[in-house]
Amino acid sequence: MKLPDPQAFATSWTSQFSDPAQWQSWFNMVPDVQSHPIGAILRDAGATIKPDTIEQLKNEYLQQFGALWQEVLSGKAPSLSDRRFSSSAWQSNPVTAFNAASYLLNAKFLTAMADAIDAAPQQKQKIRFAVQQVVDAMSPANFLATNPEAQQKLVESKGESLTKGLANMLGDMQKGHISLSDESAFEVGRNLALTPGHVIYENDLFQLIQYTPATAKVHERPLLMVPPCINKFYILDLQPENSVVRYAVEQGNTVFLVSWRNPDQSMAQVSWDDYVERGVINAIGLVRDISGQDKVNAFGFCVGGTLVSTALAVLAARGEQPAASLTLLTTFLDFSDTGVLNVFVDETQVALREQSLKAGGLMPGRDLATTFSSLRPNDLVWNYVQSNYLKGNEPVPFDLLYWNSDSTNLPGPMFCWYLRNTYLENSLKEPGKLTVAGEKIDLSAIDAPAFIYASREDHIVPWTSAYSSLNILNPKKPKANRFVLGASGHIAGVINPASKKKRSYWINDEATPKTAKAKRADADTWLQGAAEHAGSWWPEWAKFLAEHGGKDIKAPTQPGNAAYRPIEPAPGRYVKMKAD
């Protein structure tokens, strides 16, 4: 094995990134980055690194590369802590171990250089994100020529693994996405979305499902669940053992749920106002009519929570307060900090979307799926490239990953309004700044106690951003709000069944201001004083719903009413529609 001279290698590696022209030259050699929108930002950034910083990084790199060199020359395979290189095929061979170790060292210092760039915070975040995409893509584990596990399987299978891998890759090319799960193992309505119920209303935007009670008595106030329109609703009703919907039904709630239609060209002109007025507000009216109750317990997950809150603010402007309570799961109301998604949103990118979609059209579901996969490329892209294509393995059945690949389109006008007014301009939290469905909206005018849940490792809705909703809702009644922080991420934190007794959650009710004039603790202070509890947060939510559910009454024996008859069994047709 011939190794490079360490001094020359270190000098060459670090000197590539000392000025904008060299950044541009390096990125031009990487087609995936060059074609990515962020590649243009990098080439036009004009970002630099201070010479003394370059020198410091070079010296650190040289020191660590020299130590790695000495390990290899002594016949000792470098230790590899990265899970991508944890198998004996990487660890036992000095050549492959050095290849992986030098990649990790190079990745570490390329990332350090990105962090050292002199640039505005958002520009720096975009550069850091793009560099990380390249770093992850260039892992030796991603290529057959440098992956000893794949090579070993190729020999042991006498070439069969390569044949299967190519077949898997061609199949995915036809589907338009990487298979994360055995998609033949699942079917919505057969072994997903199984909670019994009926569709009792539909229009061109959504179907309304009423679920069959599981208890003899129910809380008189029904629960209306609004899932995100950016995904299929059955993330809340995967299988009986991990279904939020089934759990809510079993806790004595009469549950209604909005099942959004997967948009096609007939919905190319649908706006945010339509989702609020003809979607959520319409659903609230239907549930009140069918249940005979003036108030409902409203629920929104992610974008669904933003829609529900907007709808309730519109109704408040009209003098109506139909919510007995409001549950928001991993929801933005304050978009000050949108985490890593911020790299996809600036004036230039939003204006480009508006130019192509504002007047009509569809935001393809595959583009949205690609965006979210890029937030965790090693977990949602390269892991499956290695397993499915290089090693010829078949993906195992996994309900959550099947759902993750079942993408939805979005109407262009709705998507553009959402991008500009929330992510870009953060106008939703400002009283009276936005007009929705003909009304100037003020989220603080919603008169309903709020249960706000966030996930601690959420990379889509940072938990501190969800916490900010406490300062927007019920400003004159801060004690009406409840905040619960769960472990794990955006999806796994929410889908944490009480029966499994897994993970944990944090509460700190003592931090709730006692009066409207009292200052609320910031998020970090809240967490420092919070108590951790083992298991799922679901029982805390069930208790909250019971407190605002009214008296117990006999469960309804039939879905709908005289005006709204069952149309078809749950989960209905809309959720089964595939994105074009």
Which residues are identified as catalytic?
A: 302
- Between CA 243 and CA 46 the distance in angstroms is 50
Q: At which residue do the structure tokens 């909250």 appear?
A: 544
Closest CA to 284 of 321, 252, 251: 321
- Between CA 66 and CA 6 the distance in angstroms is 6
Provide φ and ψ at 74, rounded to 5°.
Answer: -80, 0
Structure tokens belonging to residue 358: 């504002």
- Between CA 291 and CA 580 the distance in angstroms is 36
- Between CA 214 and CA 208 the distance in angstroms is 19
Provide φ and ψ at 370, rounded to 5°.
Answer: -65, -40
CB 229 within 8 A of CB 270: no
Torsion of CA 112, 118, 120, 121, to 10 degrees: 20
The order of strands in the sheet holding 197-202 is 531-534, 504-507, 482-486, 450-455, 323-329, 296-301, 223-226, 255-260, 206-211, 197-202, 568-569
Torsion of CA 365, 368, 372, 374, to 10 degrees: 110
Count of C-beta atoms within a 10 Å radius of residue 157: 14
- Between CA 209 and CA 200 the distance in angstroms is 6
CB 504 within 8 A of CB 535: yes
The continuous run of DSSP H or E covering 455 comes out as strand 450-455
Helix (H, G, I), strand (E, B) or coil at 243: coil
Provide φ and ψ at 406, rounded to 5°.
Answer: -90, 80
